[in-house]
Amino acid sequence: MNALKKTLWLAAAIAGVALSACGGGGNASGNQSGNSIGWNATPDWIPPPNGSGGSGNSGNSGNATPPATGDNTVPVSVDASTGNVNRLLASVTVCVPGAQSAQVASQCVSVDKMLVDTGSTGVRIAARALPTLARQLLTQAGAVDDPVGSAPIVECMPFASGFTWGSVKRADITIGSKTASNIPIQLISDGAFAVPDDCVAHGGGDMGAALDAMGVNGILGIDNFTSDSADAVTTAIPGNYYYCPSQNRCISTRVQASQEVMNPVAGFARDNNGTVIRLPAVPAGGQASVTGLLVFGVGTQPNNALPPNATVVAVDKYGTFTTQYQGRVFNRSAIDSGTLSYAFPDSAIPVSAAGLYTPTGTLNLSATIDPTNGKGSPLQMPFSVGNAASLMASGYAAFNNIGQYFSNSHNNMFLWGLPFFYGRDVYTVIGNAKVGNQTGPFVAF
Amino acid sequence: MRFLKIAMLAATLLPLMSHATLGGAPSAGTSSAPLLRAVPQSAVATPAQPANAARYSLHQSIDANGVTLREYVLPGNVVFAVSWDGPIRPDMAALLGSYFPNFVNAAQSRTRGTGPLVDGNDDFRVESTGRLGRFSGMAWLPRLMPAGVGPGDLQ
């Protein structure tokens, strides 16, 4: 199955290059997969004939070698294979660093069903997806508090619902046509080191098993940041990074940013300042499956231009901004492809046992997001919340109207999850990257 | 095997820690005096309460890692809810006590991916969110919630 996917990927890449050579570069990436995309893939970035649409290249240096077009995308999809709705998936190729070519079978493995997550940082792959490759990957060592300097660095990565535990390795990660060379990744549940007690105490449940149950092979964390833990650079925080001199002994440690699990986009040579996720709209009753695009770079190629009328929302160091709903202020709001719902508190809406909203009829709601690029008025964002139970009974996987109840009032959290992404282009800009006259980190749509 | 290890861990840590445990006594030496709080009227109609009805008290502390811990305590000195907010998740085994395995199972038993955790049953409910650098959440015991108080009312 992996060989077939690799062949298709190669064919798609070749087709993309051929199309752009014919001068139709703007169109190439929209159709490069060669599969029928059930939505109008005509891109809206093609400049009008009189050439006045120059804003599409506002982020382009203009003096560099003309960038290849269409080489910076990878298909993403939503389907029922995970047993969950609204799980955005992509494939990556993992190679031993310095492998001569992605074609050397023994040094590279294609891994599908990676969760595309704009809410976390870094590539995390279940060790079971790399049964023979894992041991060939380079070990990340040299933790700041390791007196000897050669002990492997192992991470307990906390998520909202639990943690992933596993060695930090270095690999070449190829997504679509773009490669991040020799970057730190996490090998989830590799079993090399016993889980430390404080990793369990602070982390809760080991998510490795949950990922297995979903049939998900890993997490592709492509958020607004380059390395995953700012705090670990200065503090040996409990339940995060460890150096492990032996199988049963792991010690919390500070690590350098360059040793931390890394956003692969930041590791590309070009088109490395962020991403665009482009998903088609879905009908109110949902859709069995969806195919879209993950585009690398913002304002670096014709296919990733930030439109002049885009809403730009700056995010803080936690990736959050402010949303207002029903007069309440949520200053820990985020747009997050890794969340399957709109997650927000509204005690007036009926809730299922699973905590999903189940109104009798679809509710048309609205919340307000404050753009931060000086464009003036706050933006009213309409969104729909349908009856999750009846929607999901269809067996479909893609819904733009799943809502989740979250009661904790002082979390101040309002999450715009994957439902927000359907029918939109969502831009995620990394760190202090400049796109035109905007400076990151920001999200835009 | 893992469940046993977690239960043993919880049992080991409990007597060593002088802080709140869900379902147990509130911590000694919290930084603020208990606040007598009236039950606020929520958006859903609830019976109006006298201004000084002491349904529960709030104890707040900040742990060694800078995590703000809130304990919601019944008049009988039983913690019926806890919340946390800080740069890391606190020691959940110590905070949740005998309910820690529920928290663990919530992560492992259902396919959640990387989004927020909202889970539980009539005995124990938890909401947990966050990412590296900031974690927050709340856990409560529905059967012990004072009448007319919902989790969203706990400030």
- The answer to whether position A314 is within a domain reads yes
pLDDT band at A198 (very low <50, low <70, confident <90, very high): very high
Closest in A160, A317, A410 to B133, CB measured: A317
Phi, psi (rounded to 5 degrees) for B127: -130, 125
Residues B132, A158: C-beta atoms closer than 8 Å: yes
pLDDT of residue B107: 81
pLDDT of residue B51: 44
Please say if the pLDDT value at position A250 is more than 50. yes
pLDDT of residue B125: 93
pLDDT of residue A361: 96
Q: Measure A347 CA to nearest chain B CA, in Å.
A: 7
Mutate to test the interface with B, among A408, A409, A413 (most CBs of B within 10 A): A408
pLDDT of residue A11: 46
Please say if the pLDDT value at position A102 is more than 60. no
Highest mean pLDDT among A4-18, A33-47, A276-290, B109-123: A276-290
Q: What is the DSSP string of A353-370?
A: TTSBB--SS-EEEEEEE-
Return the higher-pLDDT residue of B28 and B48: B28
pLDDT of residue A103: 60
Q: What is the DSSP string of A64-97?
A: SPPPPSS-SEEEEEE-GGGSSSS-EEEEEEEE-T
CA distance A88 to A13: 21
Return the higher-pLDDT residue of A61 and A384: A384
State the residue range of the domain holding A349.
298-444
| Average pLDDT of the residues in A106-120 | 95
Inter-CA distances, A328 with A344, A346, B140, Å: 11, 11, 23
- The answer to whether position A324 is within a domain reads yes
- Which has the minimum average pLDDT: A123-137, A356-370, B25-39? B25-39
Residues A201, B105: C-beta atoms closer than 8 Å: no
Please say if the pLDDT value at position A172 is more than 60. yes
CATH of the domain at A368: 2.40.70
Contacting residues of B for A197, CB less than 8 Å apart: 9
| Average pLDDT of the residues in A78-91 | 95
Closest in B44, B94, B128 to A161, CB measured: B128
Q: How far is CA A325 from the centre of its chain?
A: 26
| Average pLDDT of the residues in A243-255 | 98
pLDDT of residue B41: 34
| Average pLDDT of the residues in A78-96 | 95
Mutate to test the interface with A, among B89, B91, B131, B149 (most CBs of A within 10 A): B131
pLDDT of residue A53: 35
Beta-carbon contacts of residue A7 (< 8 Å; ≥ 6 apart) = none
Closest A-chain CA to B87 = A231
- Which has the minimum average pLDDT: A224-228, A264-268, B17-21, B31-35? B31-35
Instruction: Give the SS3 label for residue B103.
Output: helix
Residues A410, B155: C-beta atoms closer than 8 Å: yes
Beta-carbon contacts of residue A10 (< 8 Å; ≥ 6 apart) = none
Closest A-chain CA to B108 = A210
Residue B67 contacts A, CB cutoff 8 Å: no
Number of domains in chain A: 1
Q: Where are the beta strands (DSSP E) in A189-289?
A: 218-222, 241-246, 249-252, 274-278
Residues A206, B2: C-beta atoms closer than 8 Å: yes
pLDDT band at B48 (very low <50, low <70, confident <90, very high): very low
The average confidence (pLDDT) of chain B is 78
Residues A201, B136: C-beta atoms closer than 8 Å: no
Residues A202, B90: C-beta atoms closer than 8 Å: yes
- Percentage of the residues of chain B whose pLDDT score is greater than 70: 70
- The answer to whether position A325 is within a domain reads yes
pLDDT band at A24 (very low <50, low <70, confident <90, very high): very low
pLDDT band at A159 (very low <50, low <70, confident <90, very high): very high
Q: Measure A261 CA to nearest chain B CA, in Å.
A: 12
Q: Measure B76 CA to nearest chain A CA, in Å.
A: 24
Residue B106 contacts A, CB cutoff 8 Å: yes
- The answer to whether position A403 is within a domain reads yes
User: Token digits for A282?
Assistant: 């879905």
Closest in A158, A338, A409 to B115, CB measured: A338
pLDDT of residue A370: 78
User: Token digits for A16?
Assistant: 């993309």
Is the CB of residue B47 less than 8 Å from the CB of residue B117?
A: no
pLDDT digit string (tens) for B50-104?
A: 444 578 999 999 999 999 999 999 999 999 999 999 999 999 999 999 999 999 9
ipTM over 0.90: no
pLDDT band at A69 (very low <50, low <70, confident <90, very high): low
| Average pLDDT of the residues in A418-424 | 98
- The answer to whether position A243 is within a domain reads no
The average confidence (pLDDT) of chain A is 86
Closest in A87, A202, A407 to B152, CB measured: A407
pLDDT of residue A22: 41
pLDDT of residue A50: 35
Please say if the pLDDT value at position A187 is more than 80. yes
| Average pLDDT of the residues in A27-52 | 38
| Average pLDDT of the residues in A357-368 | 97
Closest B-chain CA to A115 = B113
Inter-CA distances, A209 with A86, A99, A291, B108, Å: 20, 31, 27, 6
| Average pLDDT of the residues in A98-120 | 85
Please say if the pLDDT value at position A8 is more than 90. no
| Average pLDDT of the residues in A118-125 | 98
Phi, psi (rounded to 5 degrees) for B53: -65, 125
Inter-CA distances, B2 with A115, A195, A319, A325, Å: 26, 11, 34, 42
Mutate to test the interface with A, among B37, B68, B111 (most CBs of A within 10 A): B111
Residues A161, B9: C-beta atoms closer than 8 Å: no
pLDDT of residue A92: 98
Contacting residues of A for B87, CB less than 8 Å apart: 231, 237
Instruction: Give the SS3 label for residue A101.
Output: coil
- Percentage of the residues of chain A whose pLDDT score is greater than 90: 74
Contacting residues of B for A228, CB less than 8 Å apart: 132
Return the higher-pLDDT residue of B29 and A346: A346
pLDDT of residue B36: 35
| Average pLDDT of the residues in A386-398 | 97
> In chain B, positions 122-151, which contact chain A (CB-CB < 8 Å)?
127-138, 150-151
CA distance A189 to A216: 13
| Average pLDDT of the residues in B105-131 | 86
Q: Measure B28 CA to nearest chain A CA, in Å.
A: 21
User: Token digits for A347?
Assistant: 């005690």
| Average pLDDT of the residues in A86-103 | 87
Angle of helix B2-13 relative to helix B100-109, nearest 10 degrees, comes to 150
